[in-house]
Structure 1
């Protein structure tokens, strides 16, 4: 919780005090009240942090809202987590850096750069970094996490996280030489995040949208399951019960001589036929040819 307070104070606007309700002090909160308190405590800071990762205000706000909607769907798990703010932060970062944003049907135009020249140079240097390097730099030098925590949240080993951090600092220092000092970089990241006017949605709206989205996907899953069951039943009903080999298509046979047609019988052939019919049914004696 101390880390969460530090993160909030680092990225909150100046003059905005940390508020704590009487219900929170007494520890008597319903799930909705606890969610609203976490949202009010972390959402403004997360939007500013996500803006440093994407450089887009609308995408940063959508990513944070999507993260809190998932947190509300898994609220029993999030409520028992030792760092709920870290759970939401990791989800928001994943949503913001997802490569699927490039396939969105509604792809907004890039946001206008910051008015200040120093802020614009710093943001450009951040956006040129690979996503994993940018995330490591924001977590370590912006949020203030330790190297093991940064490595765990970025799903990397500690040496890999240290290597990413070193290369990210070197790349930022190459673009903005006055930020070669980590303390100066930490201060400038906080200033850049605080100067942007980023709005957040009300927590009740986020909860309502999350519940509506959950109902929609639940009904879609039920309808899809019913369609699969219906198609399976129809297939079983109409499918044949035994295998019937397919008939080969007819083909013309070439090279066979045509069958000769029989002509009329002669008088001798007629007499022979009559004799065969007469003698064949009178016993076992064989028909002997008449050689006279």
Structure 2
């Protein structure tokens, strides 16, 4: 028995464009569909796809939004068109601008203690994922807007067209300066080691530069680098390094020291899940995807980590307080990282080294194989066992000159007759 294919849905970018064209927020669309805002976001990002009745209802809603958009585009509006033309003649049209955030040493993001970890409304997020979120007053369906005189381009395509003019090195430098300060502090909370945190983030960005086409097309480049940095920092091989065998100086503040020690006592998987959810502010599906676990498994790890933290520090039972304290502990540490050109040059140098090493190893292997084939025997020759000394056998007497006694005895034997019967000789008869 075969199952009929599901209702076709437009691509994820088209879903988001239709929702924004209808002036609907993700919360309003979630209220119409009877799901959470996080679920709508995963539908629009392409990570998940609705099934069953939810798929059919979502397809019908998108179809109606597309029909409304087509109707608004085809509807004539002479008065509004004239007003738009007059306004366009009086004031030039706005030009999309891409703002670059400067986060290097001495920048506002580096000096400000509040810009350590990206924060999200944790209480609202927990209530939505638990299914107990109440509808906010501003989440009510808004009245249909007036038809626009001109169709504006999709907002998500403006930054892409602007960023397309950047060279790969400039795009990498912008990503590095934007994400390095927060990633170094997050990795410090994950490992408790300042030098390891800096090295992990730099090695992750070097790996990102080696795979830059893939990272540049990723929906979340910072998340790609964060996953690589966390994997490198939590690698089991780090414990065998000599410098990681000795503890580093703890934070100066007693409260920060207690919180960091309590956090480091958690298992690595629980600590990573807690940091991603309550520290970075990711949703539960995103946390599960980054830790390569299922959503129920990630939820269990998060609950166990929160319970362990609350048992040792009861004041951190509230997720909001825990998020604030993690941000404070990370902001109190002044952690620095190398410049973007240094990281890029180090990545290229490391790539050249491993390329030359692979070429040298291949050449040595080919030479060794050729030498073996040249000098190896063409037929089998059994080995000759070495001689051994046999003990316990008397040595063989070699012939030599006879003594006087021996000569006298020989002459006596020759002269004297032998005792015994005479020799019989045959006779003819």
TM-score over 0.5 for the pair: yes
- Give the C-alpha shift of residue 145 in structure 1: 0.9
Taking a change above 3 Å as real, the CA distance of residues 95 and 291 of structure 1, as seen in their structure-2 partners, is farther
Name the TM-score, length of structure 1 as normaliser.
Answer: 0.78
Q: 2:211 aligns with which of 71, 74, 86?
A: 74
Confirm whether residue 120 of structure 1 aligns to residue 291 of structure 2.
Answer: no
- Give the C-alpha shift of residue 247 in structure 1: 3.0
Q: 2:368 aligns with which of 231, 256, 268?
A: 231
Confirm whether residue 215 of structure 1 aligns to residue 215 of structure 2.
Answer: no
Q: 2:232 aligns with which of 54, 71, 95?
A: 95
Taking a change above 3 Å as real, the CA distance of residues 131 and 16 of structure 1, as seen in their structure-2 partners, is closer
Judging by fraction of residues, say which structure has more helix. Answer: 1
- Give the C-alpha shift of residue 26 in structure 1: 2.8
1:59–1:96 Cα contact (<8 Å) kept: yes
What does residue 280 of structure 1 align with? none
- Give the C-alpha shift of residue 119 in structure 1: 1.1
**What CA distance in whole angstroms lies between the structure 2 residues aligned with 1:201 and 1:161?**
33
Q: Any gaps of 5 or more consecutive residues in structure 1?
A: 3-7, 18-22, 260-289
Query: 3-state SS of the aligned residue for 2:248?
Result: coil
**What CA distance in whole angstroms lies between the structure 2 residues aligned with 1:90 and 1:120?**
26
Ranked by relative contact order (alpha carbons within 8 Å, sequence separation 6 or more), the top structure is 1
RMSD value, Cα: 3.4
Confirm whether residue 154 of structure 1 aligns to residue 253 of structure 2.
Answer: no
- Give the C-alpha shift of residue 149 in structure 1: 1.2
Taking a change above 3 Å as real, the CA distance of residues 213 and 229 of structure 1, as seen in their structure-2 partners, is same
Structure 1 stretch 73-82 or stretch 241-250: which is displaced more? 241-250
Confirm whether residue 170 of structure 1 aligns to residue 313 of structure 2.
Answer: no
Q: 1:244 aligns with which of 381, 389, 396?
A: 381
Name the TM-score, length of structure 2 as normaliser.
Answer: 0.54
What does residue 276 of structure 1 align with? none
**What CA distance in whole angstroms lies between the structure 2 residues aligned with 1:11 and 1:50?**
16
- Give the C-alpha shift of residue 232 in structure 1: 0.8
What does residue 202 of structure 1 align with? 339
State how many pairs are aligned: 259
Q: Any gaps of 5 or more consecutive residues in structure 2?
A: 1-40, 42-102, 117-158, 397-425
